[in-house]
Chains A and B, each alone.
Chain A
Amino acid sequence: MTAATGIGARVLRTEDKRFLTGTGRYVDDLPLARATYAYFLRSPHAHAKIKKLDISAAAKMSGVVNIFTGKDLVDAKVGGLICGWVVKDKHGEPHKAPPHPVMAVDTVRYVGDTVAMVVANSYDEAKDAAEAIKVDYDVQPANIDLAKSFDKGAPQVHPEAPGNLIYDWEIGVKADVEAAFAKAAHVTKLDLINNRLIPNAMEPRAAAAEYDKGTGNYTLWSTSQNPHVLRLILSAFVLGIPEHKLRVVAPDVGGGFGSKIFCYADETMVCWAASRVGRPIKWTAERSESFQTDCHGRDHVTHAELALDKDGKFLALKVETIANMGAYLSTFSTAVPTYLYATLLAGQYTTPLIYANVKAALTHTAPVDAYRGAGRPEATFVVESIVSKAAAEMKIDPAELRRKNFIPSTAFPYQTPVALQYDSGNYPPIIDEAMKMADYKGFEARRAEAKSRGKLRGIGFSSYIEACGLAPSQVVGSLGAGVGQWESAQIKFNPTGNVQVMTGAHSHGQSHETTFAQIIHDKLGVPMDQIEIVHGDTATTPFGMGSYGSRSLAVGGSAIVKATEKIIAKGKKVAAHLMEAAVADVEFENGTFKVTGTDKNVPLAQVVFAAYVPHNYPLAEVEPGMDENAFYDPANFVYPAGTQICELEIDPDTGTTEIVNFTAIDDFGNIINPMIVEGQVHGGIVQGVGQALMEGAVYDKSTGQLISGSYMDYTMPRADNFPSFKLGYKVTPCPHNPLGVKGCGEAGAIASPAAVMNAVHNALAPVGVKHVEMPATPLNVWQSIKGAQRQAAE
């Protein structure tokens, strides 16, 4: 197709016009007549019994319409929030599933747990009334320290999960791995913490709902990444509103990063209460509420060991991880540290034996669930940290050790020892290109020059693999997923030839409106400005799974391609009739149907018109209209891979780290819009570097108060923390989807923490520092240097 706007073109984003001119429509922008406003009273304690909850004074305050508490939900028989993935432990037993009431009934279990909902004529009145609610708490000891969650005497979060253990899960054969370790020439051991993160989407979570008494229909507007799934959960499990009576709309949404996948208490309450209040209800989280109540990410404590032979060939890997679930199991929480984590521990390597044991723990903290990368950044961090540590210990160049163990390009499809079968890849040219771009050869000279300025310069690699586009449905179903993992598309031509494409995926920053339109343009020849991508509304789009796990293009884009094939097939029949030719002789190219070997042709727009005004039309064989649906269930995950190289300088006087070079070479398969992909990679790298150097959720270990509860204390990465990134691509097309695409949304965040931390360790090795945990803040780095100096002095 035309290079200007088809597949592979750097088309400017269609959605930018409204986003950059302030005309986007977010949930909070909704003008709803007679709206009321909700405010949620949150628990100020990490763990407490509610002895008394008195709303009487608050209920009498000015502007108050209604106040709901957990007891109202019990009386109304509202179900609890659900965890949608049943993970079976190492004995085959399903994980412990403590109840997750929408609002606390008699116990609060984290700072931010929902205690009451006040609905008033204005937000300020709701907030005033919430201050008048009297809650008598009996404060209990809280379990905050993840590593100590299973200790005897640790405060218990739920009686249904004795010892705070949700599951004790494993993958691989432990005895085989132990046998390999017994024969190893070298064993590298590593203890690490994958720090807890708070997502911080630019738009806080928000919900609004309206109930139509006449029809019994509910409409819920939510900042959701997957409105159909949210509707399904609310209908089938929580509120019991029949699906056809509940419309969920996720309009423009300002970032999600996973945190908006889940079904939350507040949006559930807004929907439920709309019919009780009889007026629309609006709610938008304050930033402090986002910090406290958005699902957090990561939070692992891990011990890993890698066995190598004398030449550096990996023999076996074993990993023990404790994963934090928080106080309740969020929607996909159980799957993240198991099927999205341990299955990635092979990385890009031929490690023949892998054993992983994961114990999921309850703590009195906010629920933890998927966050950009979800399990895969944690896995990559373990693998790429231990590989670099092994290289340093064995005095092998870190690139060389990686190369020695890469899965060869001839070995695909490659079955890993941890369930996944990689479909395609070619890793050596990626690292070669990255090293060239990063001028790896010149590094030692740059290190020496930095030293002359008093700076410690380091370089670090991260060669990541990720599995995205979670699939196929039957496989994920067998692993405990409660939903299918296909995607849908509908291509609906209008009689005048323009086209609306409905997708079950959802864009909250990913630029689907541009990328998907490029596919349509490429396949059907319709000009870009004649294409509208419609998403985010259960009333107008076919059922679909939404956007997460870098799946939208690989799965949703493939569904669109399937629908274009149906359009072309039908169009050929109509065109054959119009051109008085045999269908077999009709071909379609550049938006035009042609009779092979002749100059007879008819443009798609004319075929579409004929389909809607079927005066001269093969009605006996073909239905009128040009409107096709497709569902696509992938044959496998897709496996993006790449290598990042981070080069940085540390000021030993202050502990400050400055990234001076950052290179990323990725294999995302075929690329639809390189500009958009670069944007995704930039954002991903920044989030990963944020984790490595800046971000960290800190709870007070005894009180469970969220210390990093605002931007005064939670360090978000900023533009001036970064150099200009050097990016490049290598392409091995995905063999099993029609676009040959892989997925790029999470890669940056998956790979970069290890690249940065390997560089930090490389920089600090000369001063005797052995290990630095993330985030490597100035304080942390300075203390590490100081500690090494003290140790050397002893």
Chain B
Amino acid sequence: MYDFTYHRPKSVADAVKLLKDKPEARAMSGGMTLIPTLKQRLARPSDVVDLGAVKELSGIKIEGANVVIGGMTKHADVATSADVKAAIPALAHLAGHIGDPQVRNRGTIGGSVANNDPAADYPGAVVALNATVTTNSRKIPADEFFKGLFETALADGELITSISFPKAEKAAYMKFPNPASRYAMVGVFVAKTASGVRVAVTGAGGCVFRVKAMEDALAKNFSSAAIKDINIPADGLNSDIHGSAEYRAHLVGVMARRAVDAANK
């Protein structure tokens, strides 16, 4: 990796100040994407601002009808949290199947969501559960947060402090892993919450997206039979040596039906 200046601030305010002062600085949460990128010399930040010592960013709380997860909370902590398991078991399940044990014990929800890798799992949950992303300066609704391939609504120097997930009446996440990397090749998060039924797809396209036709059908009848004839167009979906766009489109249907069945169990 190239040389950079390393910082380890203790507060959100200090971290934000560093990021604003240094235009070429990068924030590092768990570092599960940034460190490999640095090692491959694919990124050359002037400074790395490690958020690891910012204690206020970690933790899981129940606030009314919401599960609020601090940005620096590790996947392993979400996966094993009794509160998450009780309120939104599908979210705990999702977190428990991200990467491998090493990744789950370093990677964080805020890092994953801020990075918005098209094959990441969390964006599916954020959108399907209609979560709210809280930053150091504002609250951003899920539908406005994910903008495109590795693109989000976050401004320069803006940090995710927490994400608030409404409790779900029913929810499940089904992932079809890429055989090599085991990232989501297609992941479908189906949720029935106070705000209605949502179907969010990750991995298949450049960015997480919702399947309106399925949502409408499921709102009327929350069963896999209700969506069995809904086909997703392959246009615009990812295509690579592991999956053609057509295959991914097909898998969205399969994973959605399986997710609905799991949510109904």
Contacts and interface: CB of A to CB of B under 8 A. Distances in A.
Contacts of B247: 655, 779, 782-783
Interface stretch (B13-21, B175-183, B202-210): B175-183
Contacts of B86: none
Interface string A617-629: 0000000000000
A711 B251 CA distance: 23
A714 B254 contact: no
A779 B180 contact: no
Interface in A681-725: 694, 698, 707-708, 711-716
B206 to A, nearest CB: 17
A536 B254 CA distance: 54
B244 interface: yes
A626 to B, nearest CB: 51
A711 B250 contact: no
24 contacts: A124-B1, A127-B41, A288-B40, A654-B251, A654-B254, A655-B247, A694-B179, A698-B241, A707-B241, A708-B180, A708-B241, A711-B180, A712-B180, A712-B181, A712-B183, A713-B181, A713-B240, A715-B179, A715-B180, A777-B179, A778-B179, A779-B243, A782-B247, A783-B247
B59 to A, nearest CB: 32
Interface in B173-208: 176, 178-181, 183
B250 A779 contact: no
Interface in A711-751: 711-716
A779 B242 contact: yes
Q: Give the size range of B's interface with the partner.
A: 10 to 19
Interface of A is mostly: loop
Nearest to A696: B241
Given A708-B241, A778-B176, 15 more contacts: A653-B254, A655-B247, A708-B180, A711-B181, A712-B178, A712-B180, A712-B181, A713-B180, A713-B242, A777-B179, A777-B242, A779-B242, A779-B244, A779-B247, A783-B244
Nearest to B182: A718
The 7 closest A-B pairs by CB, nearest first: A715-B180, A712-B181, A715-B179, A653-B254, A698-B241, A713-B180, A779-B243
A685 to B, nearest CB: 18
A762 B200 CA distance: 37
Interface of B is mostly: loop
A620 B235 CA distance: 92
B150 to A, nearest CB: 15
B67 to A, nearest CB: 29
A655 B243 CA distance: 11
Interface string B235-265: 0000011111001001100100000000000
Interface of B: 1, 40-41, 176, 178-181, 183, 240-244, 247, 250-251, 254
A698 B240 CA distance: 11
Interface in A126-143: 127
Contacts of A713: 180-181, 240-242
Contacts of A777: 179, 242
A712 B182 CA distance: 8
A713 B179 CA distance: 8
Contacts of A716: 180
Interface of A: 124, 127, 288, 653-655, 694, 698, 707-708, 711-716, 777-779, 782-783
Nearest to B242: A779
A779 B250 CA distance: 11
B180 A714 contact: yes
Nearest to A717: B179
B118 to A, nearest CB: 13
A711 B176 CA distance: 17
A654 B243 contact: no
A708 B181 CA distance: 11
Query: Which of B179, B180, B250 counts the most A-chain CB atoms under 10 A from its CB?
Result: B179
A288 B179 CA distance: 19
A547 to B, nearest CB: 30
A712 B37 CA distance: 13
A204 B41 CA distance: 20
A6 B176 CA distance: 49
Nearest to A655: B247
Query: Which of B41, B176, B183, B241 counts the most A-chain CB atoms under 10 A from its CB?
Result: B241
A712 B119 CA distance: 12
Contacts of A708: 180, 241
A779 B185 CA distance: 11
A694 B41 CA distance: 29
A288 B243 CA distance: 23
A698 B1 CA distance: 27
Contacts of B240: 713
A672 B175 CA distance: 45
Contacts of B179: 694, 715, 777-778
A698 B181 CA distance: 15
B203 to A, nearest CB: 13
A341 to B, nearest CB: 27
Nearest to B257: A653
Contact of B250 (A288, A698, A715, A782): A782
A124 B4 CA distance: 13
Contacts of A655: 247
B224 to A, nearest CB: 12
Contacts of B41: 127
B176 A654 contact: yes
Query: Which of A124, A654, A714, A777 counts the most B-chain CB atoms under 10 A from its CB?
Result: A654
Nearest to A716: B180
Nearest to B179: A715
Contacts of B254: 653-654
A666 B32 CA distance: 44
Nearest to A700: B241
B83 to A, nearest CB: 29
A715 B242 CA distance: 10
A591 to B, nearest CB: 48
Contacts of B183: 712
Contacts of A653: 254
A663 to B, nearest CB: 24
A66 B2 CA distance: 21
Query: Which of B180, B181, B243 counts the most A-chain CB atoms under 10 A from its CB?
Result: B180
Contacts of A124: 1
Contacts of B241: 698, 707-708, 713
B79 to A, nearest CB: 17
B186 to A, nearest CB: 9
Nearest to B39: A286
B41 to A, nearest CB: 8
Contacts of B251: 654
Contacts of B181: 711-713
Contacts of A714: 180
Contacts of B180: 694, 708, 711-716
Contacts of B250: 782
A698 B178 CA distance: 16
A714 B247 CA distance: 19
A694 B241 CA distance: 12
B199 to A, nearest CB: 18
